[in-house]
Each structure stands twice: as C-alpha cells, then as structure tokens.
C-alpha cells in the first residue's frame, strides 16, 4: 500500500489555491488523487462506478482512463459531467437498484446535502455486497468549512456570509443552511461505524497517512482534519 506523505499534501494544497483561477488543474489533480485512493481497494478496470454529485468532467476522464464504467450523477443539469452524458438525479434518491454498482464515489458533496445520513445510506444501498463506497467531505469546523467565506465561518456562518457579501458586492455561492450544512467529522465517523459495512479507511483526506491518529481526538479533529475520507466495503 503506498504511503502518503507530506509532499503529496503540499502538492494538493498548492493546487487548491488554483480552484478559481485554473479549475481544470485543481479538479484534475483531485481526480487523479481520488483514483489512486480507490485503486488501493478495488480493481477499477471494468468496474461500474457511480459518482454522486459529480460536478466537473475531470473525474470522468480520469476514472474512464483507469477502465472504470463511470456514470456521473448530479442534481444540477448544467454541470459539465451531466452535459457530457451523465445522469440528472438526487443523491438522496439514487435511481439505481439495490446492490447494483461495484463502486459508489462521492467527493465533497456531503456538506451540501440536507440529509447527509440518508445520502450515505443510499450510497451503501446501491453498492453490491463486496463493493466499495468512498465518501469524502469538508466538515464545518475545518479551516475550509465555510468554503468561500472561510475562515470567517468560525465566527458564525451567517456573519461570514454577510461579510462576504459586503466585500464582494454579491452573496457567496454557498449559503449556510441552504446549500452548505454544518456536518462534523463525528457525524461521518458515527455513520460509518453504524452502517454495518467494513470501514477500510477513516482519515483526513489531504493530510499525510500519519494524521489518521487525529481522528481519535474529539474537538481537535474537527479543526485539523480539513476533509474526512471514508472508504467502506459493503458486507
């Protein structure tokens, strides 16, 4: 199993700074890193893979390049992955039969849905026994928890939204309580443990492997994890 060290984290945090100016560079790096994470647990070549909340088209290129039968799903018909032949659908009611998919992937969507546990249950429902779920999200108390209003969300979500609107002359894309929700690291860990699936990975997504120990420290883990990565195998 490859060890993920500091160099990878520095590389990822560098490209994150390019999200607005060079989205292709950012999403392509995230997609390649996601492929490598999944490839540790599942043979992607020939696997059916549903990407819940797929967003841009970069993940399609990378997962299809690895041989996966990749299907993007998003509730927004205007996103590139859907315009590229993906499925319009709601993460909380996946239009798929029970146990019908090898891999169900969802990156940076959980914090945007009203019923995160319901969405995670849906992802597990459509995964075949022995199949893999990868769920990753930015928790609210992460330095990036308020997304474009960060780090002012630490002083209050609504306050951060007002500050952003004052400074930029328009409201932020993500509105707390509407399109961005206060999910914690504890929420994800609790869901994973109660899910009945085998938890293969639970650790900060972008940090070196050794940072997984952080998750043992309530409070501190909410601030330092940045983004929680969960990989589960359905029994």
Ligand X SMILES: C[S@@+](CC[C@H](N)C(=O)[O-])C[C@H]1O[C@@H](n2cnc3c(N)ncnc32)[C@H](O)[C@@H]1O
State which residue, 11 or 193, has the beta carbon closest to ligand X. Answer: 11
What's the closest the beta carbon of residue 118 comes to ligand X, in angstroms?
10
Spatial strand order in the sheet of 48-52: 87-88, 69-74, 48-52, 101-107, 127-138, 227-233, 198-204
Q: How far is the CB of 114 from ligand X (least distance, A)?
A: 8
Kindly state the smallest distance separating residue 178's Cβ from ligand X, in Å.
11
Residue position matching structure tokens 């043979």:
43
* Gap between the terminal Cα atoms of the chain: 22
Tokens of 168: 């930029």
Residues 20 and 16: their CA atoms lie apart, in Å, by: 9
Q: Which residues contact 134 (CB under 8 A, 6 or more apart)?
A: 34, 37, 38, 103, 104, 105, 106, 107, 229, 230, 231
Residue 53 in contact with ligand X, rule: CB under 6 A? yes
Site for ligand X in 203-222 (CB under 6 A): none
Q: How far apart are CA 7 and CA 156, in angstroms?
A: 33
Among 44, 55, 127, 197, binds ligand X (CB under 6 A): 55
Site string for ligand X, 63-102 (x = CB under 6 A): -----------xxx--x----------xxx----------
What binding mask, one character per residue, do residues 95-134 give for ligand X by CB under 6 A, x or -? ------------xxx--xx---------------------
Site residue total, ligand X (CB under 6 A)? 17
Name the residues that contact ligand X, by CB under 6 A.
27, 30, 53-55, 74-76, 79, 90-92, 107-109, 112-113
């Amino acid at each position: 199993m490859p060890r993920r060290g500091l160099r990878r984290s520095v590389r990822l945090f560098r490209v994150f700074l390019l999200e607005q100016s060079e989205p292709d560079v950012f999403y392509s790096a995230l997609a390649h890193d996601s492929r490598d994470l999944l490839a540790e647990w599942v043979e992607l070549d020939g696997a059916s893979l549903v990407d819940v909340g797929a967003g841009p088209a970069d993940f399609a290129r990378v997962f299809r390049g690895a041989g996966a039968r990749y299907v993007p799903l998003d509730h927004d018909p205007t996103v590139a992955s859907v315009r590229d032949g993906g499925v319009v659908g709601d993460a909380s009611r996946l239009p798929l039969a029970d146990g019908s998919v090898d891999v169900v992937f969802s990156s940076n969507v959980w914090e945007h849905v009203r019923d995160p546990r319901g969405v995670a249950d849906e992802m597990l429902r459509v995964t075949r026994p022995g199949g893999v779920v990868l769920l990753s999200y930015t928790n609210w108390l992460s330095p990036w928890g308020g997304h474009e209003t960060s780090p002012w969300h630490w002083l209050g979500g609504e306050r951060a939204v007002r500050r952003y609107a004052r400074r930029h002359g328009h409201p932020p894309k993500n509105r707390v309580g509407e399109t961005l929700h206060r999910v914690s690291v504890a929420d994800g860990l609790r869901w994973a443990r109660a899910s009945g699936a085998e938890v293969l990975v639970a650790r900060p997504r972008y940090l070196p492997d050794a940072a997984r120990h952080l998750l043992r420290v309530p409070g501190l883990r909410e601030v330092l994890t940045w983004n929680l990565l969960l990989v589960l195998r359905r029994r």
